[in-house]
Amino acid sequence: MDSVDLQVLKSASEWVNAGRRVVMATVIHTWGSSPRPIGAVTAIRDDGMVVGSVSGGCIEDDMILQVRAGQMVQDKPATTRYGVSAEEAKRFGLPCGGTLELVLEPLTRDSGLDDLLARIERHELVMRRLDMRSGRVTIGPAQSTDQLTFDGATLATVHGPRWRLLIIGAGQLSTFLAQMAQGLDYQVTICDPRDEYAEGWNVAGVELRRGMPDDAVTAMNLDGHSAVVTLTHDPKLDDMALLEALKSPAFYVGAIGSRKNNDARRKRLAEFDLSREEIGRLHGPVGLKLGAKTPPEIAVAILAEMTAIRNGVKVPELAEPEKATVAGCTA
């Protein structure tokens, strides 16, 4: 499963390599309410074919007309704004008078899309720099903390998996969770030392590790852009990963199982060198309370909670209450 932006890059590359004229638009600034975030992209082919989105659709309609007429950009990148006035905001469907600023880039074989896609395929995190004066593109390594920047002379965009997800267990639920997570820009790793599960794992683009879960957590050197979810239902495996993950800076650590099983898990974890605060970081039962029953529904619930936390949003009415346990007692 591809993320939205990756679909845009792939389609744009195919069109350019086929000899078509293509314009790519990137959101670089927003004011007021905006349907799409900074960094959102869309690509428009000379015949009006479009992939991706920078708004709810009305802005794309206007750009399509300009691209078809050859009036948008020619040889060099340029910037444009939509929705500056209340009249334009209403015309283009921008809520609450919102405004978008875009970089419009005419794509060519020198735009580096093939190189960029190859690096993303290798799970590299890369920065693409576009010189606004010359249209020249350079591509190099990026850090997980890097963000889109635009100073009027250079547009720097970050591509590749900025988020990492370690899943303990290679069962059916893990398959759905891994596939969906890739669509949300996670670089997914599966760890399962059990032959009966690991031998049948076949999700493309996901690394499989056969070692012990605690070793996998340590080896990944988790940071604030990392998440760990344990799905084996086997305390010997899940708890090993949690003991290391809860001490890490990972933004999300979750464990499958009922409320009763997770209460027992917290008591077990309290017998080790984990603080009350560290145990309190555990999301268990994992995921939002959506009434999920099937593996795909449970995967949606897990990713919904992860998305809320990564975006700084709390939904306590849908989340299982977190608990902390000290010395075997629930707090």
DSSP structure string for 60-74: HHHHHHHHHTT-S-S
CB proximity list for 245: less than 8 A, separation 6 or greater: 166, 217, 222, 228, 253
Residues 102, 27: contact at Cβ < 8 Å? yes
Q: By 3-state DSSP, what share of the chain in percent is helix, strand and coil, each rounded to 5?
A: 35, 25, 40
Question: Where would I find the H helices in 82-192?
Answer: 86-91, 113-121, 172-182
The amino acid occupying position 299 is A
**Architecture, CATH, for domain 163-330:** 3-Layer(aba) Sandwich (3.40)
Q: How far apart are CA 165 and CA 245, in angstroms?
A: 12
Cα–Cα distance for residue pair 76/133, rounded to 1 Å = 7
pLDDT tens track, the chain, 331 positions:
346 688 899 999 999 999 999 999 999 998 766 667 889 899 999 999 999 988 766 788 888 999 998 888 888 999 998 875 666 656 666 655 567 899 999 999 999 999 999 998 887 889 999 999 999 999 999 987 889 999 999 999 998 877 899 999 999 999 999 999 998 889 899 999 999 999 999 999 899 999 999 999 999 999 888 999 999 999 999 999 999 999 999 999 999 999 999 999 999 999 998 999 999 999 999 999 999 999 999 999 999 999 999 988 887 655 555 554 444 444 4
Domain boundaries, the chain: 4-159, 163-330
Residue type, 324: A
Give the H or E element holding residue 45: strand 41-45
Whether the CB-CB separation of 274 and 325 falls below 8 Å is answered with no
Whole-angstrom distance, CA of residue 211 vs CA of residue 223: 21
